[in-house]
Structure 1
């Protein structure tokens, strides 16, 4: 099936804004002397949602279910490659996705989703 890939560098400002929007101010998401902030898993999932809703399958797509796995941490300052693969394009659309940190070649999110077109 079709594939779409984008790359996004995640900044401290991105994480700070997400802390404000989500209310998740867990200290691991705040940059400190011991290292960079850990990116929220929900932020990474939002990047996947952005690809699904604007590129593949695209506008009008609604997520009805998702399976998410976070095998490694992602940190501020890293670039993430978000890839969405279209597996099945029927009444229920199936996609698989992954986010990989380019600098470390580590997958930080992978999963699958079931989607429908909003009519």
Structure 2
């Protein structure tokens, strides 16, 4: 019952959201993160495991999971469901890079629309960007 009440409270609190609301997090992606994600997802593509660990490419799905974590816990927050999503990967993200994940609210109607970007801190390199339509459960 407590969880349903929390979700209801979130759904009622969308009144506090406004277009332009934005949040960002930073995270260094480690070799251990890649190994654990590969085990969990079953994606053992060799590009994610290089003999030179700094050349291992981060899974795009891993980057997307970081965006999902922000959407589901911070903006808009608990009770949010992804209805549709567009992802673009203009550059590779390598292990041991620190990325900034930024999510911005761009439309607030029956469906909430956000845009997001994952950018490598060093060199301002965009490694993923896109948008999503969200619903409140």
TM-score by length of 1: 0.96
**Rg larger in 1 or in 2?**
2
TM-score by length of 2: 0.83
- The count of aligned residue pairs is 118
Q: CA deviation at 1:33?
A: 3.2
Deviation sequence 1:53-102 (CA, Å, 0-9, x none): 00000000000100000000000000000000001122100000000000
Q: Which structure 1 residue ranges, 4+ long, deviate > 4 Å from structure 2?
A: none
| Unmatched tracts of structure 2, length 5 or more | 1-19
RMSD: 1.0
- Provide the residue aligned with 2:58 in structure 1: 39
| Unmatched tracts of structure 1, length 5 or more | none
Decide which structure has greater helix share. Answer: 2
SS in 2 for 1:104: coil
Decide which structure has greater strand share. Answer: 1
